[in-house]
Amino acid sequence: MKLLMYGVNRDSVSADDIHKYRLDERTQTQHLKDISDFIGVEEVVLLITENRNEYYLYVDEKQFKHGDLLRYLSHFTGKTLEETILETYSKFNEDVVKHLMSISSNVATSSNQVFEPVEVIDHALVHANTHRTVRTVLHSLFKTVVEFSLALCEKESIEPLLQSDIHRSIKRIKASVSHKKSVDYLVLGHHPITEQVMKNIIGKSNASVTFIDRMDYITEIDDHFKQWLTMMEQANLMSDIQCVGMNQLLYRLSKADVVIIGPSIQHSWISEDVLKEVQVMRPYAKVQQFFDFSQTQDETVFHPFKHVEYTHISDEPIKVFSDDKVEESITVFDDILSDWAKRYMDRYEQLQVEETPSFVGGQQETFYGDYSKKVCSRA
């Protein structure tokens, strides 16, 4: 058995032709289903972004024919097989693991790297699970990659490489509440940045999180975090997350220790009158932290309130490190990456031994995805 990855990206395909590889939701689903039916393919996950299309496969190398996938892509794009071969790149086994970890790390070890947010990794696995093209091996891979990406924020040894808005905001938010045993977070709006910040916090501290947005977004946020916690085998934390409508803004503000204003907020939700109402509702005074990712909140409304501390993320200073310190951090990061990849490969070898499936009524039980979902077996 073997792990494989075939991909194309903006570096491997010319700007004039990249659109030929583009997949919408319908064609992505069709590719998943078609490729999962190839001889020798046991599992498949597609990672599709604006920057890349990557096909992650777990195959029986004695049966799988690499030409099948290349011909499939050639037919889909209308390109010759020779062109398709030149435009695709591939990796196998441990190199697959290192590649996926690298692109999800958001750690800049060179100037031309293009990263993918954690939620892209989440969604790729959820989509494959929904269409029943993934089981234990690729599920374990993608789950490990998400854990790796989230764990990097804790690594002081690579601080020079952790200077993105997300990394700096997570560090700043955690430092502001490090003295508290439990923290009540309130997140305003629906955006990948705030979701990634909260994924770094949920499960690593005694935290309760409330998301507030328009009602048409609330179900989407709720479903996303339920799927994510199930995928990460942390379903026990679902009760710590609530998604509510804007009619609860005052009440939730009165409870919150930390308020995060997301980039999606298009006008100033917090006014001086709102803060005065919150003071009336709150039974006792406490210091409340506001962290703002938006471009629309009027920060002057916070000035009269001595128990409120306001920070705009873009105003947070970026530390500058010497070249030697950066090079040292890159070496440490490479060691961390290799260690995590090796740990996954050890798990991968273990899964080869354990992979005798358990059948119930002709269907194979799965431990991820929707709570009661069963995956039909394929011979």
Express each pLDDT in 263-275 by its tens digit. Answer: 988 888 999 999 9
Average pLDDT, the chain: 88
Cα distance between residue 276 and residue 255, in whole Å: 14
CB atoms within 10 A of CB 161: 22
Query: Is it the case that residue 211 has pLDDT exceeding 50?
Result: yes
What is the model's pLDDT at position 119? 81
pLDDT tens track for 6-65: 999 999 999 999 999 999 999 999 999 999 999 999 999 999 998 999 999 999 999 999
Query: Is it the case that residue 195 has pLDDT exceeding 50?
Result: yes
Residue 6 located in a structural domain? yes
- Whether 31 and 134 map to the same domain: the answer is yes
Average pLDDT over residues 99-116: 79
Residue 99 located in a structural domain? yes
- Whether 266 and 339 map to the same domain: the answer is no
Confidence of residue 144 (pLDDT cuts 50, 70, 90): very high
Average pLDDT over residues 151-178: 88
The pTM assigned to this predicted structure is 0.84
Listed range (179-193, 240-254, 263-277, 355-369) with the worst mean pLDDT: 355-369
Confidence of residue 113 (pLDDT cuts 50, 70, 90): low
Report whether 178 contacts 154 (CB < 8 A): no
Task: Calculate the CA 203 to chain-centre distance.
Answer: 15
User: What are the start-end ranges of the E strands in the chain?
Assistant: 2-9, 41-48, 52-59, 89-92, 183-188, 207-212, 241-244, 258-261, 288-292, 308-312, 359-360, 363-365, 374-376
Query: Is it the case that residue 261 has pLDDT exceeding 90?
Result: yes
Query: Is it the case that residue 341 has pLDDT exceeding 80?
Result: yes
Query: Is it the case that residue 366 has pLDDT exceeding 70?
Result: no
Type of residue numbered 86: L
Query: Is it the case that residue 367 has pLDDT exceeding 70?
Result: no
What is the model's pLDDT at position 325? 94
What is the model's pLDDT at position 377? 32
Query: Is it the case that residue 370 has pLDDT exceeding 50?
Result: no
Domain count, the chain: 2
- Whether 232 and 265 map to the same domain: the answer is yes
Residue percentage of the chain with pLDDT more than 70: 92
Residue length of the chain: 379
CATH of the domain at 275: 3.40.50.720
- Whether 180 and 268 map to the same domain: the answer is yes
What is the model's pLDDT at position 360? 33
What is the model's pLDDT at position 196? 86
What is the model's pLDDT at position 362? 36
Q: Would you give the DSSP letter of residue 173?
A: H
Structure tokens belonging to residue 51? 């920057």
- Whether 266 and 203 map to the same domain: the answer is yes
Residue 320 located in a structural domain? no
For residue 270, give the nearest of 289, 243, 284 by alpha carbon: 289
- Whether 141 and 237 map to the same domain: the answer is no
Structure tokens belonging to residue 42? 């046991």
Cα distance between residue 145 and residue 344, in whole Å: 9
- Domain region containing 119: 2-153+328-371
- Whether 115 and 17 map to the same domain: the answer is yes
- Whether 307 and 185 map to the same domain: the answer is yes
Residue 106 located in a structural domain? yes
Q: How many CA atoms lie within 13 A of 228 on its CB side?
A: 24
For the stretch 176-215, what's the b/e string if a residue is b when 16 or more beta carbons lie within 10 angstroms of its beta carbon? Answer: bbeeeeebbbbbbbbbbbbbbbbbbbbeeeebbbbbbbee
- Whether 30 and 146 map to the same domain: the answer is yes
What is the model's pLDDT at position 358? 39
Report whether 355 contacts 377 (CB < 8 A): no
Q: Please, what is the Cα angle at 136 between 102 and 52, to 5 degrees?
A: 35
Cα distance between residue 252 and residue 257, in whole Å: 10
Q: Under DSSP, is residue 212 helix (H, G, I), strand (E, B) or coil?
A: strand
- Whether 230 and 344 map to the same domain: the answer is no
- Whether 332 and 305 map to the same domain: the answer is no
Residue 321 located in a structural domain? no
Residue 376 located in a structural domain? no
Residue 323 located in a structural domain? no
For residue 6, give the nearest of 38, 42, 53, 76 by alpha carbon: 53
CATH of the domain at 67: 3.30.460.30
Cα distance between residue 134 and residue 296, in whole Å: 42
Q: How far is CA 123 from CA 46, 91, 298, 368, in A?
A: 10, 22, 34, 13
Question: If you search the block for the tokens 């204003």, which residue do you land on?
Answer: 261
Confidence of residue 200 (pLDDT cuts 50, 70, 90): confident
Structure tokens belonging to residue 212? 């507030």
Q: How far is CA 91 from CA 28, 204, 241, 330, in A?
A: 21, 33, 38, 22
- Whether 148 and 173 map to the same domain: the answer is no
Residue 379 located in a structural domain? no
